[in-house]
Amino acid sequence: MKLSDVSIQALRLAIHSGEISAREVAETTLQAIEQHNPQLNAWTEVTGQRMLKEAESIDAKRQRGEDLPPLAGIPYAVKNLFDVAGYSTLAGASLFSQRPAARADAFAIDRLRQAGATLSGMLNMDAYAYGFTTENSHYGATRNPRDLSRVAGGSSGGSAAAVAAGLVHFSLGTDTNGSIRVPASLCGTFGLKPTFGRLSRSGSHPFVASLDHIGPFARRVDDLALVYDQLQAADSADAFQASRPAAATLPGLSRGLEGLRCGVLGGFFSEWCDEEARAAVAVVAAALNAQDEVMMPEAELARSAAFIMTAAEGGTPYLPALRQMPEQFEPNSRERLLAGAMMPAAWYLQAQRFRRHFQQQVLPLFSKFDLLIAPATPCSAITIGQQTITINGEELPAKASMGMLTQPISFLGLPVCTVPLATRSGLPIGLQLIARPFNEAAVLRAAWVLEQQGFTVAQINMAGA
């Protein structure tokens, strides 16, 4: 059985029927990681013993004749900013490598454990989650499985690469300004950034509390929906979680485009991308019968406001460490963090208030449209070490600009599914399917239609097992 070609539900059924054991799945996964991670550099820690123990627990359940939970025996991995009991939470930073081990799993990992998934380890990221390329000075660059000379995107680069390489069925990442959507786009896999406040973040290392989201990556839309459904649960420990009951999305996927009115975001979103991205948008617009161009006023200002909030909230918590041990910091980020910690408070508060204003301007669009389409990145994956990209005739800093089209959307806190399409260059590019708050079902349904109709790029498999 080629594990990566089998859906989560099919693999669970195979384990349930005894066709394969959860331990065999775990062992095959660990062997594939051992073989391919040296090239990929996605895992910073492999939790082999834990994975085998979790797998054996599933096999024991089966032998006792118990029902298996929805993710029984399914391999996954998490960005290394989630707490995993017994391990130091790195958040991509050597600064944290010596801190005490986490005493408990993050809330999301505990949910996945209860659902029967088996944890293979923790994944590389940009230090402190501050970046879009996962070129980490201390832990190395994560390579894009579709072209090892290129970046995987960031900051959840390891999470996208692990899934896109076919080494695990799903992974967890976080998205503050685009850190799920950018790597999903560049690695050519599916990613879901839910509504801000939808999923608990407790037990994850914060970056920008006002903007941080957690979410899954997967190779198939039904897998993405299933994992998202398992992650939905109330958690009083997360002060930013919205009070909203769980709403399963998997059962509704087959409703497809029923009742969905789709539009294409123009202006800022169609100007700041290359021809390949525009071509991908045109393909999806035709497939989803999106005939109207929709303008999102002040999107560029929203990006600036997100940038300022990120600098201030991202930098200030590090001030004591920046004072006491500056040599321990990632050189790409140190002065960026410090600049954020010393900016005038008026800038930060204006950005926070503008966010409310921007929401008030944009949300009425959803009275006419259920789904908006935009590129996730201005272009496909750049090469490792590349400093600039040329978009719209302008040379832009590559690391900061890969997230320019995702920032205004996470600033709004809207749910987004990234769907990967092929380009003429052979590299994938992702599109954002965007809906009103809490309408994750709509973005997943549209993504499922695009996948079923063959518009999305074929998934690859480094392992070949």
Partner 1 sequence: MNSPDWTHYIAHMEQILQLELDDARRAELLIQLTRIAQMAEPLMAYPLDDRLDVAGVYQA
Q: What residues make contact with partner 1 under the rule CB under 8 A?
A: 195-197, 240-244, 298, 301, 304-305, 307-308, 311, 319, 322-323, 326, 334-336, 338-343, 346-347, 349-357, 359, 413, 437-438
Q: Check if 137 is active-site.
A: no
Residue 331 or residue 426: which is nearer to partner 1 going by CB? 331
Q: Which two tokens stand for residue 89?
A: 């939470």
* Euclidean distance between CA atoms 378 and 404, whole angstroms: 8
Shortest Å distance, C-beta 414 to partner 1: 9
Question: Catalytic residue among 4, 21, 61, 79, which?
Answer: 79
Residue 391 or residue 400: which is nearer to partner 1 going by CB? 400
State the angle between helix axes of 48-63 and 8-17 in degrees (0 to 180), rounded to the nearest 10: 60
3-class SS letters over 402-415: CCCCCHHHHHHCCC
* Euclidean distance between CA atoms 100 and 88, whole angstroms: 6
Q: Check if 367 is active-site.
A: no
Q: Check if 179 is active-site.
A: yes
Residue 1 or residue 343: which is nearer to partner 1 going by CB? 343
Shortest Å distance, C-beta 135 to partner 1: 18
Shortest Å distance, C-beta 202 to partner 1: 14
In the chain, the N- to C-terminal Cα span, in Å, equals: 7
Residue 7 or residue 352: which is nearer to partner 1 going by CB? 352
Q: Which two tokens stand for residue 363?
A: 């949300």
Shortest Å distance, C-beta 332 to partner 1: 10
* Euclidean distance between CA atoms 11 and 464, whole angstroms: 16
Residue 57 or residue 438: which is nearer to partner 1 going by CB? 438
Query: Can you say whether the dihedral through the CA atoms of 410, 412, 413, 414 is positive or negative?
Result: negative
Shortest Å distance, C-beta 141 to partner 1: 22
Residues 6+ apart with CB under 8 A from 200: 107, 108, 214, 233, 234, 235, 237, 238, 241
DSSP type of residue 120: E
Residue 195 or residue 459: which is nearer to partner 1 going by CB? 195
Question: Catalytic residue among 179, 204, 210, 401, which?
Answer: 179
Shortest Å distance, C-beta 239 to partner 1: 9
Residues 6+ apart with CB under 8 A from 163: 169, 170, 171, 187, 189, 217, 218, 219
Query: Can you say whether the dihedral through the CA atoms of 297, 437, 190, 284 is positive or negative?
Result: negative
Residue 148 or residue 391: which is nearer to partner 1 going by CB? 391
Residues 6+ apart with CB under 8 A from 232: 198, 199, 246, 247, 248
**Shortest CA distance to 23 belongs to which of 48, 59, 47, 50?**
59
Shortest Å distance, C-beta 399 to partner 1: 13
Residue 173 or residue 437: which is nearer to partner 1 going by CB? 437
Shortest Å distance, C-beta 130 to partner 1: 12
Question: Catalytic residue among 4, 155, 185, 200, which?
Answer: 155
Determine contact, residues 180/174, Cβ cutoff 8 Å.
yes
Determine contact, residues 152/158, Cβ cutoff 8 Å.
yes
* Euclidean distance between CA atoms 334 and 330, whole angstroms: 6
Long-range contacts of 64-68 (CB under 8 A, 24+ apart): 68/12, 68/15, 68/16, 68/116
* Residues involved in catalysis: 79, 155, 179
